[in-house]
Chain A
Amino acid sequence: MSLSDSIPNNVDLGSDKKLLRALEKWQPNFINWWMDMGPEGFQHDDIWLRTAVSVEAGGWAQYDYVRMPDYRWGIFLTPNEGERTVGFGDNATSKVWNEVPGELRGLLRRIIVTQGDTEPASVEQQRLLGKTAPSLYDLRALFQVNVEEGRHLWAMVHLLHQYFGRDGREEAEALLERRSGDPDKPRILQTFNEPTDDWMSFFMFTMFTDRDGKYQLAALAESGFDPLARATQFMLTEEAFHLFTGETGIDRIVRRSIEAAKADPNGDARGQEAIDLPTVQKWINFWFSSAVELFGGEISSNAADYFATGLKGRFREKKKYDDHQALEEVYSVNVIEDGRLTSREVPLRNAMNEVLRDEYIADCERACRKWNRTIKDLDFDFELKIPHRRFNRSMGIYSDVHFDLAGEPISNEAWEKNKTEWLPTPEDREYVQSLMKPCYERGKFASWIAPPQKGVHGMEIDHEYVKFQSEKN
């Protein structure tokens, strides 16, 4: 089968010499990367995966057993809907760009490379998790997330190959050369160099970190660079599953935690090899505060540039806003002066990272309300909380001072005194790690997580989501 036949696409790959030439070289390197850095120990097993083979309603989610290296990573752009115009910024109402405007090359390249770098990074961070999966259902979910992150890498690489010439090809290679946590060639953003080494962290990652991805993609889906807008729009359809995995995963941990606490003679979830809610809260604190960094500086000239040039808009820019110039308004940012919080008015465009962060936080709080509803429905007394955005920051204007969970500035002593209550301690990590034992029996779930409400795509919960072709130990 020729390259163009094996790669599902709607970009007319077969007759695009430029793209074919670039992919002929890159695709084998991608497969090598996948074998090196993809899920370890499961490359020969049959996984019940969905594959996107077209952008039509029935085409983007076809389910079947696939060995991951044979997964058909494709290139899809959401179809054109008539003539679009740039939706915001200084170029608003002029026609969208179908080629890279020379004067915006540098900015666009930075956006695409930074986004692209996160996609393979998460696969690398999660590569060992299969060995301790709490169920076949979850193992499948992990691999589904992994192959789709791989496809999102393809989406960004397509843009680099198609629109950035030789430099784009080099950047596409570099996306495979940097490795998460590699001391020599780490990934660009620090969050993506932290290992995701337990399954609760995986659910936290898909809940919080991937959710940052959703908002970044949604902001880029508004872009005046049409190929970027259409690529990210299609990525968002896949991203939804990743977020679902995280949000429901945490819900299942919470559910099991309460069941275990009730069953335990001492009322201690840990006594039943489940995870107590205070520990779940610590994981939330850690992962939320790490993910919230990804939105960038609170007062940012880059953010203003991205908006002004029409390359990156707000969440639902077109639907939600009337003023697409955003030149007149200001945004109040709380800044630290002499150890105290005071409000500073910033031109709205310079606060676009903060505007996007607001949307994200509201979404996280919505999910948190759902978990609390679960707790309430199970008649248990505990409330999970999303920490304040200022809590535990290492970048941006809140990184110089410590803040408590409610976002109030606190002394170094108070921080040192409380941090073991707020963030995972080595002992907590050791405990959670001790629960990480594989549970590969059909329909069975590990002691620390409840089964999902239903199976995947109409299948039963005990469906054989992964067919092992070799012994697992």
Chain B
Amino acid sequence: MTAISFETHPDRYKHWNLSVDGPLARLTMDVELRGGLRDDYELKLNSYDLSVDIELADAVSRMRFEHPEVRTVIVESAIDRCFCAGANIPMLGSSTHSFKVNFCKFTNETRLYIEDASKHSGQKYLAAVSGACAGGGYELALACDEILLIDDGSSTVSLPEVPLLAVLPGTGGLTRLVDKRKIRRDRADVFCTTEEGIRGKRAVDWGLVDGIAPRSKFDDAVKQRAEALAELSEYITKGPGITLDALAPNVDDAALSYRHVTVSINADKRTAELTVEAPTTAQPKTADEIQAAGADQWSLRAFRELDDALLRLRVNHGEIGLIVVKTRGDQAAVLASDQGLRDNESHWLANEILRLQARVLRRFDYTSKSFFALADEGSCFAGCLFELLMASDRSYMLLDDDEQVAVRVGPSNGDTYPMGTGISRLEAHFYADPNHVGQVLEIGEAIPTEKAEELGLITVAADDIDWDDDVRIAIEERVAMSPDSLTGMEASLRFPGPETTESKIFARLSAWQNWIFQRPNAVGPQGALTKYGQPDRAVFDYRRC
């Protein structure tokens, strides 16, 4: 398959229409039947594949940076009597397991971004469900702040995955039903096994939707709810919006090259080296400077590049099992960038950049590849980049005689970049000793290797005699292990501590949905996904595991 790009622009959208009218925006779904990534399926009834979700993610992101004045986003359908039929089943049926998993992961992240926009940017989302809303369609609605369902005597919301396809709702539907909307679990059980779904008043009574409106009054009701939602968020002056320019990396088989981020691919060794460079120019200090620097400022550009690189590594480089994480440049410059954003946290753009950095770091956490951070000569794991070291599965630090190699914990490493579990990476790192986190945060100066090892910040300290071999052997040993068990192990070890709706969604996705995606009852020769659209029906092995 040709490499997938995650960059797009509203001018090029095939599947969505984005229109902004003052504080109100409309995201109108109008999926192009033959506009999917492959041509062996048709995207009927607003069903989606990755290309549809890439545009959605782009729209959600642009709404925050380019249209900060927007306070409510209406998610609606351009198709009469149909909102969205969910992920395209023939597409899932004919995709590889790893593609399905990464597709689901990305769609989950997009829905979490919608919730993040509501929580942190005051952009509320309203699902205007004007027709049949099934599976992933309802899960998209579940990610919105409110769901308004048309009351036409036939349109339903439904999660038909279990009864119809022998899989699970793959974008957090089950978790959001009981955790977010707090629907009684016995009713959720009925709902999730009733393929035709639930309509009208009962959908309201059960909490599946927030309101219903008849067809003739639907548009008015949508507008009214959208305006009411806009009032929910505290009014702060925002804008003017900035333009998110294209990242346009240089891409070839061996490397991805961006302005601040480089990925070099070593396909033979199944490894890649990801390098993030510190800023080389003065960083904005004031709100005006942040506003003026726009999409060019390092803090935004570098993390957008990191985000794009992670996505490409996931989807286009499945065989790469381990990523060596490096940084290059001046620690002080990284910290200055952090400081400028922190000092102006109440400025809309500083806030957006910090939130974006936090999201990209969570994307890093959820990436199914081994990450080894190498703090070597010239590295600058400080502040926001120190998070990369904390997010990695292991860290190696060069023990040099003149203590030039150092890491540096900044104030941002406190609570600026929470993990999906709601705690910081330092808190996760020192889960046994919360007090230690406070002590580390107070150091306030460069931490050389010996000290870093003593503090427990790094995994291995090696001097220059051992360094090359220790690192090489560790990497070679790692990539030889089963990628499946590594994925499971890493996902289990990366998230100590509490659960949140978000962490549950990913845990259940990885554990249950991905398991079911592998089971013969779904994808075997007689499985329900295999047999979908075929002349004969699925045959199940009824033994419970």
Contact = CB atoms under 8 A, between A and B. Distances in A.
Contacts of B196: 106, 109-110
A347 B534 contact: yes
A110 B152 CA distance: 17
A309 B214 contact: no
A70 interface: no
A213 B321 CA distance: 59
Interface stretch (A35-43, A182-190, A424-432): A182-190
A90 B526 CA distance: 14
B215 A183 contact: yes
Interface centre among B153, B164, B196, B533 (most CB of A within 10 A): B153
A228 interface: no
Interface string B190-217: 0000111000000000000000001111
Nearest to A176: B153
A109 B195 CA distance: 11
Interface string A240-251: 000000000000
B535 A350 contact: yes
B304 to A, nearest CB: 38
Given A177-B153, A178-B154, A186 B215 contact: yes
A309 B151 contact: no
A11 interface: no
Interface centre among B33, B152, B163 (most CB of A within 10 A): B152
Interface string B159-201: 0000110000000000000000000000000000011100000
A110 B154 CA distance: 11
Interface in A310-332: 326-327
A31 interface: no
Nearest to A301: B533
A188 B154 contact: yes
B535 A326 contact: yes
A109 B537 CA distance: 18
B535 A308 contact: yes
Contacts of A301: 532-534
Nearest to B536: A308
B536 A184 contact: no
A305 interface: yes
B44 to A, nearest CB: 9
A116 to B, nearest CB: 12
A185 B536 contact: no
Contacts of B217: 184
Interface in B495-545: 532-537
A103 B196 CA distance: 13
A106 B134 CA distance: 15
A174 interface: yes
B16 to A, nearest CB: 20
A305 B537 CA distance: 7
Nearest to A117: B154
A424 to B, nearest CB: 23
Interface size class of B (residues with CB under 8 A): 20 to 34
Contacts of A349: 535-536
A106 B154 contact: no
A96 interface: no
A224 to B, nearest CB: 14
A304 B152 contact: no
A185 B534 contact: no
Given A174-B153, A185-B153, A90 B536 contact: yes
B536 A327 contact: yes
A156 to B, nearest CB: 15
B91 to A, nearest CB: 14
B195 A327 contact: no
Interface string A166-201: 000000001001100001111010000000000000
Interface centre among A174, A305, A309 (most CB of B within 10 A): A305
Contacts of B536: 90, 304, 308, 327, 349
Given A301-B533, A308-B536, A349-B536, A106 B152 contact: no
A348 B535 contact: yes
B168 to A, nearest CB: 18
B216 A304 contact: no
B533 A184 contact: no
Contacts of B214: 183-185
A307 B216 CA distance: 38
Contact of A308 (B154, B164, B537): B537
Contacts of A350: 533-535
Interface residues of A, number: 25
B535 A327 contact: yes
B152 A185 contact: yes
Nearest to B214: A184
Contact of B215 (A184, A307, A309): A184
Interface in A254-287: none
A400 B153 CA distance: 29
A305 B151 CA distance: 29
A90 B151 CA distance: 38
Contacts of A326: 535
A418 B534 CA distance: 39
A185 B199 CA distance: 12
Interface centre among A106, A110, A174, A177 (most CB of B within 10 A): A106
Contacts of A327: 535-536
B41 to A, nearest CB: 12
Contacts of B535: 304, 307-308, 326-327, 347-350
Interface in B288-313: none
Contacts of A307: 535
Nearest to A305: B537
Nearest to A346: B535
A40 to B, nearest CB: 22
Nearest to B152: A185
A347 B531 CA distance: 12
Interface in A135-174: 174
Interface centre among B163, B194, B534, B536 (most CB of A within 10 A): B536
Contacts of A188: 154
A434 B31 CA distance: 44
A90 B152 CA distance: 36
A106 B153 contact: no
A314 B424 CA distance: 63
Contact of A106 (B33, B195, B216, B534): B195
A348 B196 CA distance: 26
Nearest to B533: A301
A110 B156 CA distance: 13
A400 B151 CA distance: 29
Interface in A37-95: 90
Interface in B203-248: 214-217
A184 B212 CA distance: 12
A161 B234 CA distance: 52
Interface string A102-138: 0000100110000000000000000000000000000
A177 to B, nearest CB: 5
Contacts of B215: 183-186
A347 B535 CA distance: 6
A326 B163 CA distance: 25
A301 B45 CA distance: 14
Contacts of A304: 533-536
Contacts of B163: 106
Q: List the 8 closest pairs (A to B, CB-CB), nearest first.
A: A349-B535, A184-B214, A347-B535, A185-B153, A301-B533, A178-B153, A106-B195, A183-B216
26 contacts: A90-B536, A90-B537, A106-B163, A106-B194, A109-B196, A174-B154, A178-B153, A183-B215, A183-B216, A184-B151, A184-B214, A184-B215, A184-B216, A301-B534, A304-B533, A304-B534, A304-B535, A304-B536, A307-B535, A308-B535, A308-B537, A327-B535, A347-B534, A347-B535, A348-B535, A349-B535
Interface of B: 33, 151-154, 163-164, 194-196, 214-217, 532-537
Given A178-B152, A184-B151, A301-B532, 17 more contacts: A106-B164, A106-B194, A106-B195, A174-B153, A174-B154, A184-B214, A185-B151, A185-B154, A301-B533, A301-B534, A304-B533, A304-B535, A304-B536, A309-B537, A347-B534, A350-B533, A400-B33
